[in-house]
Structure 1
Amino acid sequence: MAKVNIPTFTLNNGIQMPALGYGTWLGLRPEDGEFDYSGWDKMVDCISYAIDVGYRHIDTAHLYRIEPEIGQVIKKKIQDGVVKREDLFITTKVWQTYSREADVEVSVRGSLNRLGLDYLDQVLIHWPLSFNEEGVDQNIDYLETWRGFETVLKKGLTRSIGVSNFNVDQLKRLIANSNVKPVTNQVELNLAFGQKELVDYCTSQNIRVVAWAPFGAMIASRAAPDAKGPKMDDPTLVAIAKKYNKSVTQVVLRYLYQRGIITIPKTVTPSRVVENASIFDFELSQAEFDTLAKFDINYRSNRPTFWQNYSHYPFEKYDVPPSAVPKALLTWKNGKNQDID
């Protein structure tokens, strides 16, 4: 069995976080906006395989439904002697229906119960906005939510707290009005959407950026027909990949790593589990790095415009007709059988 060796970054609280992890968001079906369960079993198998080959960082969320299965995999790997609990870095996220200060602990304890863990390594505010199970904007200040995060940190339910999808102004306000600085900010970030201003600010504050959607719209079959940015067959990317005997996706992940960014690529294909983490045995030259930086056209490929009129929406707004929040983002049951609270 091929093995991978993934280095770590030191967070601003002194904890080591692996530079690459396994992402577990299966997504929504484009045809109806419902949660996509089609890759469920393959993903569970890949999580198990990922730990076997050397992954130690698993990124999940309450929203992803899969916390129970992740917990079962972790339990078995510990029982089999593959890993110890302290070897793993497990991240989950608090959904926006738990934005009130007191509800944060309810959410975190629920995740711990589903995962079968005594503590988490990191918990994130999933989004800076808030709403109820009917999708109505609750206008709860993320500063209140963060107070709940500081409480669960103090109680030892998690070793680290961070945020996701926060913009620079929101980070500045959070830092100025809190006792604990976030260790990370997890955002969409890829070649076409480099987020330089945000990365520079986070770096100045010793907040580590974590990239979700690290490939953006590169994979044409998964992207909108009018999606911008480089594709997998881009001649420049192909040439660099060929030089190092790597894939285009490995070149992209290596570029992000050299920017100091943690990535959490998702796959349900075992060979790609190893491929994604086999990026630490080569280094892009400065000229190649600069060439890849030029692909940044500030193109956001994931646009949740159904939230754009909510309080604390973090992104630019688009001139599109209003749409309802997908039901799959409002309320759900967890686990493969969708029967776990």
Structure 2
Amino acid sequence: HEFNSADIPKMIEALSYAIDIGYRHVDTAHVYRVEPEVWQHFHREGDVEVGLRGSLRRLNLDYVDMVLMHWPFSVSINLNLGQKELVDYCQANQVIVTAYSPLGTMIPNRAVVDSPEPKLNNPTMVAIAKKHGKTYQRGLVMIPKTVTNARVLENASIFDFHLDAEDVATIAKFDVGYRTLVPLHYQDMENYPFDVLPGKSEPVPLALRKWKNGAKNDIE
């Protein structure tokens, strides 16, 4: 998912605005190819410091408050896969959960053959969104993407509403235990956490194998 270089000036402007209005969680990783403008690697114990220093150089920073490893600790949570048991456990133990791909499959042509229909224009979801002028509420962190200042502000304006019990129950019905994102390119590895699907292995995406933006030089 390489970032469109034509959007970089817009991204810089939007990021500066986001920080000005209070954003403090910035989602970035080597695989996104935008660290020099705004680490999905080097997580072995002996490599962490080297990898982090490389990321700091690309971010042009001396310090970050926290480093969250994207993989293998990402939690796929969306309308089709609520992960209630896991979320309840984390919240009971004061662990903040960041939902990966919180809207699941949004675009029909990206949907897997057996996947549930995209929910972006689902009449039930649209009605609830219009009712509140918002989208979702579970006490989870979501990472919005935009290069427009108006949407940056809109995404930050989430602390003034609550879904009622009826809305929450309606949304919960979409949870059918369907996992939208399955990393098949990792299923041959020793500690792959999901059921192995014979004949479904995929090559590791080029974006995870390719060095860019001087990243290799930063680390070596």
| Fold shared by both chains (TM-score > 0.5) | yes
The aligned residue for residue 67 of structure 2 is 123
The aligned residue for residue 56 of structure 1 is 24
The aligned residue for residue 116 of structure 2 is 228
CA contact (8 A) 1:211 1:263 kept: yes
The aligned residue for residue 287 of structure 1 is 166
- Structure 1 position 105, deviation (Å): 0.8
More strand by share: 1
| 2:47 aligned with 1:107 | no
The aligned residue for residue 318 of structure 1 is 197
What CA RMSD, in Å, does the superposition of the two structures yield over aligned residues?
2.5
| 2:107 aligned with 1:198 | no
Q: How does 1:99-248 map to 2 (within 5 A)?
A: 99-128=43-72, 164-165=73-74, 187-220=75-108, 223-224=110-111, 226=113, 227-244=115-132, 246=133
The aligned residue for residue 184 of structure 2 is 305
- Structure 1 position 112, deviation (Å): 1.4
- Structure 1: gaps spanning 5 or more residues: 1-26, 28-34, 71-92, 129-163, 166-186
Mapped to 1, the partners of 2:217 and 2:169 lie a distance apart of 48
CA contact (8 A) 2:76 2:101 kept: yes
- Structure 1 position 200, deviation (Å): 2.4
Q: What is the TM-score of this pair, normalised by structure 2?
A: 0.85
Mapped to 2, the partners of 1:47 and 1:230 lie a distance apart of 29
2:33 pairs with one of 44, 48, 65: 65
* Secondary structure of residue in 1 paired with 2:98: strand
Matched residue type, 1:224: A
Name the CA shift for 1:124/1:241 in 2 (closer, same or farther; >3 Å).
closer
| 2:32 aligned with 1:37 | no
323-332 or 309-318: which moved more? Answer: 309-318
Q: How does 1:10-25 map to 2 (within 5 A)?
A: none
Name the CA shift for 1:54/1:220 in 2 (closer, same or farther; >3 Å).
farther
Matched residue type, 2:57: N
Q: Deviations over 1:207-262 (max 9, x none)?
A: 211112121113446x3263315522212112212222x1xxx313xx2xxx2211
Matched residue type, 1:58: V
Q: Give the paired residue count.
A: 216
Identity across the alignment (%): 51
1:276 pairs with one of 155, 175, 199: 155
Mapped to 2, the partners of 1:219 and 1:45 lie a distance apart of 27
CA contact (8 A) 1:94 1:107 kept: no
* Secondary structure of residue in 1 paired with 2:67: strand
Q: What is the TM-score of this pair, normalised by structure 1?
A: 0.57
CA contact (8 A) 2:3 2:34 kept: no
Mapped to 2, the partners of 1:340 and 1:242 lie a distance apart of 49
- Structure 2: gaps spanning 5 or more residues: none
Matched residue type, 1:120: V
Matched residue type, 1:315: F
Name the CA shift for 1:61/1:302 in 2 (closer, same or farther; >3 Å).
same
Mapped to 2, the partners of 1:326 and 1:45 lie a distance apart of 30
* Secondary structure of residue in 2 paired with 1:292: helix
Q: Deviations over 1:174-200 (max 9, x none)?
A: xxxxxxxxxxxxx22111121122212
Mapped to 2, the partners of 1:219 and 1:53 lie a distance apart of 30
CA contact (8 A) 1:229 1:297 kept: no
Matched residue type, 1:65: R
Q: Deviations over 1:88-120 (max 9, x none)?
A: xxxxx442xx23311111001111122222221
